[in-house]
Amino acid sequence: MFMKIVVALGGNALQEGKKAPTALEQLNIIKETSKHICDLIEEGHQLVIAHGNGPQVGRILLQNEQSKNEIPPMSLDVCGAMTQGMIGYHLQQAIGEELQLRNIDKKAISIVTQVVVDKNDKAFKNPTKPIGQFYSKEEADILIEEKEYTMTEDAGRGYRRVVPSPVPKEIVEIDVIKKLVDEYIVITVGGGGIPVIKENTLKGVEAVIDKDLASEKLAEDLDADILLILTAVEKVALNFGKKDEMWLDSVSVKEANRFVAEGHFAKGSMLPKINAAVKFASSKKGRKAIIASLNKGSDAVKGKSGTVVEI
């Protein structure tokens, strides 16, 4: 059966390990990812693609900070917009090339997408979203002292800078997206969308929206059948990284909520994916979310890989 699928690609899964890639390395990683995306397209599913930007937006912010004596630094919302262009460009190239190889007459297009957030969202006073590079505890302590960064330990992988991550309320360009999805492979809400608040006009704010939550909003707005969250692990685990680690094939919304309460999912990494999956699966009968590995999307949709979250 053909499905309408919103695919959310992880920002950490668009690079190899923790290493910052060159432009060519990033393109090559995205080319590999695109082969798997195109498997789903070739199988007849309608795909809409969202992507993360945590590592990338952090690095652009750092580049801006490091050259601030010569060039005025851009604000975080503008850095987010830059990541939509950069990652969207590579996705367009890679998916375009792969579709051409398979003689599929479709084009991928990226939409610079703004997402409305509440200016009073308490996230602005409590930064939780990890971005950019990973640091050791010693390096993090120096950055906190010298640059007044807020830093947190990120899922056992090291310390990262954290920034506010308000809840996505409304996708500004949704009407355009709805018009385009039948004809094109649409790439949208990159990096969770550029956060804006509604005053008389739309005004960019310094934050990074969680792309899993924004993808969930997109999937609901488009009435998708599946929210497919692709990341660096094949499945969701209980007791992740511990001796008694247990990988899950499927989980009900009720069980997922219990596992959240028991603290199985790391904040800023697996927790937002589970929260997005639970929200989508609960939003309408028949909808399901799957969390799976970047190169196993097609298997996951066939029920052969990943963790399914259903009501």
Catalytic residues: 11-12, 129, 211, 273
As measured in angstroms, the least distance from the Cβ of 305 to ligand ADP is 14
As measured in angstroms, the least distance from the Cβ of 54 to ligand CP is 3
Burial of 242 (0-12, 13-18, 19+ CB in 10 A): exposed
For residue 10, state whether it binds ligand CP (rule: CB under 6 A). yes
Q: Which does 195 bind (CB under 5 to 8 A by kind): ligand ADP, ligand CP, none?
A: none
Round to whole Å and give the CA distance between 99 and 34.
9
Give the closest residue to 209 by CA, choosing from 168, 172, 249. 168
Among 11, 88, 195, 306, binds ligand CP (CB under 6 A): 11
Of 7-15, 26-34, 71-79, 101-109: span binding ligand CP (CB under 6 A): 7-15
Burial of 30 (0-12, 13-18, 19+ CB in 10 A): buried
The neighbouring-strand residues paired with 170 are 116
Query: What region does 193 belong to: left with phi over 0, alpha with psi -120 to 50, or beta?
Result: left
Chain position whose Cβ is nearest to ligand CP: 11
As measured in angstroms, the least distance from the Cβ of 285 to ligand ADP is 27
Q: Which does 306 bind (CB under 5 to 8 A by kind): ligand ADP, ligand CP, none?
A: none
Q: Which does 53 bind (CB under 5 to 8 A by kind): ligand ADP, ligand CP, none?
A: ligand CP
The token pair that represents 120 in the structure block? 């009073």
Q: How many residues bind ligand CP (CB under 6 A)?
A: 11
- Greatest alpha-carbon pair distance for the chain in Å reads 57
Q: Which of residues 45-84 bind ligand CP (CB under 6 A)?
A: 52-54
Q: Which of residues 194-213 bind ligand CP (CB under 6 A)?
A: 208, 210-211
| R_g of the chain computed on alpha carbons | 19
Q: Which of 58, 166 has the CB closer to ligand ADP?
A: 58
Which residue reads 């800078």 in tokens? Answer: 161
Q: Which of 42, 170 has the CB closer to ligand CP?
A: 170
How many C-alpha atoms does 121 have within 13 Å on its Cβ side?
24
Q: Which of 155, 308 has the CB closer to ligand ADP?
A: 155
Round to whole Å and give the CA distance between 216 and 287.
11
Interface residues with ligand ADP (CB under 6 A) are 10-13, 52, 54, 155, 231-233, 236-237, 240, 264-266, 269-270
Task: Give residue 279's identity as a one-letter amino acid code.
Answer: K
The Cα-based distances of 258 to 213, 226, 250 in angstroms read 19, 22, 14
Q: Which of 55, 301 has the CB closer to ligand CP?
A: 55
Long-range contacts of 27-33 (CB under 8 A, 24+ apart): 27/90, 27/93, 27/94, 30/87, 30/90, 30/91, 30/93, 30/94, 31/94, 31/97, 31/98, 32/295, 33/9, 33/94, 33/230, 33/294, 33/295
Q: Which of residues 141-200 bind ligand CP (CB under 6 A)?
A: 191-192
As measured in angstroms, the least distance from the Cβ of 100 to ligand CP is 28
As measured in angstroms, the least distance from the Cβ of 145 to ligand CP is 26
Q: Which of 54, 166 has the CB closer to ligand CP?
A: 54
Positions touching ligand CP (CB under 6 A) are 10-12, 52-54, 191-192, 208, 210-211
